[in-house]
Structure 1
């Protein structure tokens, strides 16, 4: 096989490929076998029809067409590897010449990843927020701990945000109860916004024995349509928090005094704020790179992706939505090209341990067992995407270590100090 590559644009190439019939012979044999298994000819078993009989009955041209269809992906992939072409999207194939028993010539036009020129990361400075632990942050953390040891007491008044109510719910559409749309004796915190849209607003001002009906969009309903939810309150309770003293510190923590507990909260919040500095620096670096580096994107690929998305939604004629989807696809593609260029430049490789750790963390976020999560990824063909995510995060961490990071006050931020310390090796 002989092949050449012609650059049509930063994101489009044309591969010209010439194949001899000797190289096509294997695919030609496969074509005969495939057609033999599909036709019925008296005197021959399916799959045992000789090539000469197939040529006579269905025509040599049909066989050649089948052989070419089988061969094109192989020769195209081989040529792409030979010229180090990183293709994306569907190729456009054009058969230029076919001479039976001599040669096959064809071209392939396809979108490709552009070359991305990365800057000297050591010359980049990123400014992040100061570490500022506010009194309100400290109070919120300690009150959250107090809430865990609080006591719910029944009250004879209307419910307000922060109260707990015992409720029954019935959902209806056009007056008919929704299957599975009832719930009884649920304990719910008013203002937590953890259930149905509109429920919290309805509960404010309701007392034990009150019944109210409010309209909301139920699960599975189309946008703009609503159902009716009837809520009945059977009890209102307020949470009484334990006194803020040394006795509470002993009850709710490992510390003997409130002062020690407060100091620990401040230390943990300070470290959390520093970790947030690292995340902010990472996001700002990507934002800066995307703004500073010209990253061309393949328009043909974007159009294809947007059309496929809109067809799936049945919104091909929605120009406003098309513009929104196109902007999302374009932004995502540029980000992928940038991060993959960093992965390549840093020669990042993902270890099995790193992949496993990432998989376990991801499974935890979805509330799934790691084995179940991995099985779903495998079934959906997304393992390679997971590997790419790990590689991108790892590469970004590598280059971020060379970037100068300062806080708003001008102090240097040591991101290396935020990394987990390696366990000491036992002597």
Structure 2
């Protein structure tokens, strides 16, 4: 077999392959055997029809097509390996010559990973928010905890903001009660801004047994978007009472004996949270700076595939779980479809660039992923997906996505190398010492560069990726396939 590589552009090549006919012998034998099992010829036992009879009865062309389809993947893979190419996606194959007994020649155009020159990243400097916890931050955290331990009791007075009401609702449009416009025993907190526009004003000041009517635009259901006349009946008013802020509350809500100890712990937790946010911010800014320094050409087909994958995962997984379609989502986000498409393209480009340059760094720095690192990353991914580690691991293995997780960890380590070399200061001018970078950078990379299918989380994303063909899956000639199927 002879092969040659022609570079069409930085991300695409054309392979020209010539195969001596004798190298098709194994595939020809397999083709005769396969056809033998499928046909019945009078005078011959099934599977024992001679090759010359098959040629006469069914045509030598059918045998050649079967043999070529069987042989193409191997010859294509051999040519890729000979050319030392890092291919992406499926090639476009065209058989240029097929002479029975003499020669098979074909071309294959395929996208490749571009050659990337890693820029000097030692001079990257970024500024991040300082870790500052104010007394107001601690007060807010304590209030949230206090709110969780609030109690309610029925009161005989007019409803006020913060009260919890039990309501019956009835919505009419054009004087007709909607089939899905009746709800009973609804629990609602006055001032929460949930349910319907105008309901807070309608129920404030009402006592149990009182009724009010108001007009509101429906946010969902059969009459979504229409103005409805809504009748609300208040059957119960409950007052929420917060526990006193004292040592007794600290003992009730935590393992601490005093309120002072609880506040100290809240400060510590808030500082840890802000340090994590600071580290994430540093990683994102360093990555942005790295991408600006690097020249990374993007294969057009890979970009289009990534855009479609992101749209599919959003519509079929994320929005589907929330009962939304793309149109409703865009209304909520106050975006046009053109704006959404532009943002998706920008995100896809960034994701591909991130993966390409970090993969190149992994190779340059010869970074390896240990079993312990992979296990820790799998545990984090399982936790974020809402699955148990065993369930997530099973889904990953069955979907053939272990290399995907290894790639995420390796890219995280590559980004950690860049972050370590960068100068990171906070808004106060203090140098930031980032610890445990690799754990966090793996998550940062995962969020930005889900080219291998990490953009979707949980079992659905893993299973969806498992259905996609591998990027280096060997091809079959389309024309030969069509003739064989016909």
Question: Quick check: TM above 0.5?
Answer: yes
User: Quick check: 2:217–2:225 contact (8 Å CA) kept in 1?
Assistant: no
Aligned with 1:106: secondary structure? Answer: strand
Farther off after superposition, 42-51 or 138-147 = 42-51
Q: Who is 2:419 aligned against?
A: 400
Shift in Å, 1:118: 1.8
Change in Cα spacing, 1:358 to 1:234, as seen in structure 2 (3 Å) is farther
Q: Considering only aligned residues, what root-mean-square deviation do their CA atoms show, in Å?
A: 3.7
Q: Who is 2:292 aligned against?
A: 291
User: Quick check: 2:128–2:427 contact (8 Å CA) kept in 1?
Assistant: yes
> Equivalents in 1 of 2:148, 2:11: separation in Å?
57
Aligned with 1:121: secondary structure? Answer: coil
User: Quick check: 2:286–2:418 contact (8 Å CA) kept in 1?
Assistant: no
User: Quick check: 1:217–1:227 contact (8 Å CA) kept in 2?
Assistant: no
Deviations 1:105-130 (A, max 9, x none): 22211111112222233322221111
User: Quick check: 1:117–1:293 contact (8 Å CA) kept in 2?
Assistant: yes
Aligned with 1:37: secondary structure? Answer: helix
> 345, 353, 372: which one pairs with 2:372?
353
User: Quick check: 1:217–1:226 contact (8 Å CA) kept in 2?
Assistant: no
Counterpart check, 1:71 vs 2:71: yes
Q: How does 1:12-411 map to 2 (within 5 A)?
A: 12-155=12-155, 156-158=157-159, 160=161, 162-167=162-167, 177=179, 185=185, 187=187, 189=189, 199=195, 201=197, 203-205=199-201, 206=203, 207=206, 208=208, 210=211, 215-218=218-221, 234-303=235-304, 323=342, 325-378=344-397, 380-411=399-430
Counterpart check, 1:415 vs 2:405: no
> Equivalents in 2 of 1:271, 1:303: separation in Å?
40
User: Quick check: 2:124–2:289 contact (8 Å CA) kept in 1?
Assistant: no
User: Quick check: 1:88–1:113 contact (8 Å CA) kept in 2?
Assistant: yes
Shift in Å, 1:307: 7.2
User: Quick check: 2:212–2:231 contact (8 Å CA) kept in 1?
Assistant: yes
Deviations 1:160-190 (A, max 9, x none): 3x54344567899996646xx9976465556
> Equivalents in 1 of 2:55, 2:284: separation in Å?
63
Shift in Å, 1:299: 1.9
Structure 1-normalised TM-score?
0.80
User: Quick check: 1:17–1:105 contact (8 Å CA) kept in 2?
Assistant: yes
User: Quick check: 2:149–2:243 contact (8 Å CA) kept in 1?
Assistant: yes
> Equivalents in 1 of 2:65, 2:144: separation in Å?
71
Q: Which has the higher contact order (CA 8 A, sep 6+)?
A: 2
| Unmatched segments (≥5 aa) in structure 2 | 316-325, 327-336, 440-486
Farther off after superposition, 129-138 or 321-330 = 321-330
> Equivalents in 2 of 1:144, 1:216: separation in Å?
29
Shift in Å, 1:277: 1.1
Shift in Å, 1:281: 0.6
Farther off after superposition, 65-74 or 147-156 = 147-156
User: Quick check: 2:98–2:105 contact (8 Å CA) kept in 1?
Assistant: yes
Farther off after superposition, 229-238 or 254-263 = 229-238
Aligned residues: 407
| Unmatched segments (≥5 aa) in structure 1 | 421-427
> Equivalents in 2 of 1:234, 1:177: separation in Å?
22
Change in Cα spacing, 1:68 to 1:419, as seen in structure 2 (3 Å) is closer
User: Quick check: 2:250–2:256 contact (8 Å CA) kept in 1?
Assistant: yes
Shift in Å, 1:256: 2.8
User: Quick check: 1:165–1:233 contact (8 Å CA) kept in 2?
Assistant: yes
Structure 2-normalised TM-score?
0.72
> Equivalents in 1 of 2:36, 2:226: separation in Å?
58
Change in Cα spacing, 1:67 to 1:399, as seen in structure 2 (3 Å) is same
> Equivalents in 1 of 2:298, 2:438: separation in Å?
35
Aligned with 1:6: secondary structure? Answer: strand
Aligned with 2:368: secondary structure? Answer: coil
Change in Cα spacing, 1:38 to 1:263, as seen in structure 2 (3 Å) is same
User: Quick check: 2:11–2:298 contact (8 Å CA) kept in 1?
Assistant: yes
Change in Cα spacing, 1:176 to 1:129, as seen in structure 2 (3 Å) is same
Farther off after superposition, 350-359 or 282-291 = 350-359
Shift in Å, 1:243: 1.5
